[in-house]
Amino acid sequence: MNIEDIQYNKKIDFKILKNLCVSKFGELTEKYYNDIQNVYNNKDFAKNEVTLYFEKLKESFYIYIDKKITLTDIDHLYKSIKTVNYKEPNMKYMYVLDEKLKKIKENNTYEIVEEILYYSIKNKIFYSDTYEVVTLLINFSLIWNGITPIVFFPYYKLFKYAVNCNDIFYFNDLIKKIQGFNYVYREKHKKTNIKSILEKYYDNQDEIKRLFLPKSIYIYGSYILETNNEYSDIDILVDIDIWHKKKIKEYLEELFEIPVDLSVYSEIQNTIFYKRISKYMRRIK
């Protein structure tokens, strides 16, 4: 597969990077959100802890995209590791990676990229921000192979576990699951639009009311703006007892057959996030 064959969605790239920032600093204020957007779009320089961190993540990610993931020069790998870390990598393991990279030139294959990634995790090449680095690298590898990026599918928690336990065999098994899941996921996305979402909801609204007693339900985001694509989840806001959150999310994902990003009104009512999404919400209950 050539890089030119893949339709890149810059919003997805930004969302991956933004989510990694949130995992480190917590939910971003409107100022920080705007700051990282400006850094991402090259409209401003990184000036504070959040934007400097975001810039490092961005540089690491786009080293691979800009270089078309050739990785034929060991300096690329050195640079990506140093970009997101504050200490030097372990030189002994870098020698092993150097040998692995030579196989790319010999075999003209990119499958070795995953092997490099697994080896890096297993031997703790990355001294800090391991999870962020791994997520960036494996996301690009998944996109390269036409697989749904990791932050948008239900194996996300399994992936996080695999990172934490540094289990190379667990990773290999997980990749196989992702590949099988990806076809089903894309096919269902092709059939999903705001009309199909509403039809399924109204066909089941009585049961939803009986089971979860929601005061109100809103849809917002890409399906309302009609900017959804094959990676989009359904953004839903519910005014409901917080204890029902997990159950109603599971119910809606089973109903719509694609991932649901569920927010509860009581958790976000006074946040910048709510102010931002309230401009384009559609009430369905």
| Statement: residue 1 has pLDDT above 70 | no
Q: Domains in the chain, please, with CATH?
A: 3-185 (1.10.3290.10), 194-284 (3.30.460.10)
pLDDT given for residue 69 in this prediction: 45
How many angstroms separate the Cα of 187 from the Cα of each of 59, 197, 199, 260?
Answer: 33, 15, 19, 16
Distance of alpha carbon 140 from alpha carbon 149, whole angstroms = 8
Residue reference for tokens 């050739």 = 70
> Residue 98 — very low, low, confident or very high, per pLDDT cuts 50/70/90?
low
Task: Tell me the average pLDDT of the chain.
Answer: 72
Locate the DSSP E strands across the chain: 216-220, 234-239, 260-264, 281-283
pLDDT given for residue 24 in this prediction: 77
Distance of CA 13 to the CA centre of its chain: 8
Pull the structure tokens for residue 118: 């697994």
pLDDT given for residue 145 in this prediction: 62
Summarize the confidence of residues 237-241 as an average pLDDT. Answer: 92
Q: Write down the pTM of the prediction.
A: 0.54
Distance of alpha carbon 135 from alpha carbon 152, whole angstroms = 12
113 or 202, which is more confident?
Answer: 202
Measured over all CA atoms, what is the biggest interatomic distance in the chain, rounded to whole angstroms? 63
Summarize the confidence of residues 108-129 as an average pLDDT. Answer: 52
> Residue 107 — very low, low, confident or very high, per pLDDT cuts 50/70/90?
low
| Statement: residue 181 has pLDDT above 60 | yes
Summarize the confidence of residues 184-190 as an average pLDDT. Answer: 71
Q: Hey, is 131 helix, strand or coil?
A: helix
| Statement: residue 120 has pLDDT above 60 | no
Three-class DSSP labels, 37-89: HHHHCCCCCCCCHHHHHHHHHHHHHHHHHHCCCCCCCHHHHHHHHHHCCCCCC
Of the candidates 87, 92, 90, 65, which has an alpha carbon nearest to the alpha carbon of residue 76?
A: 65
| Statement: residue 27 has pLDDT above 70 | yes
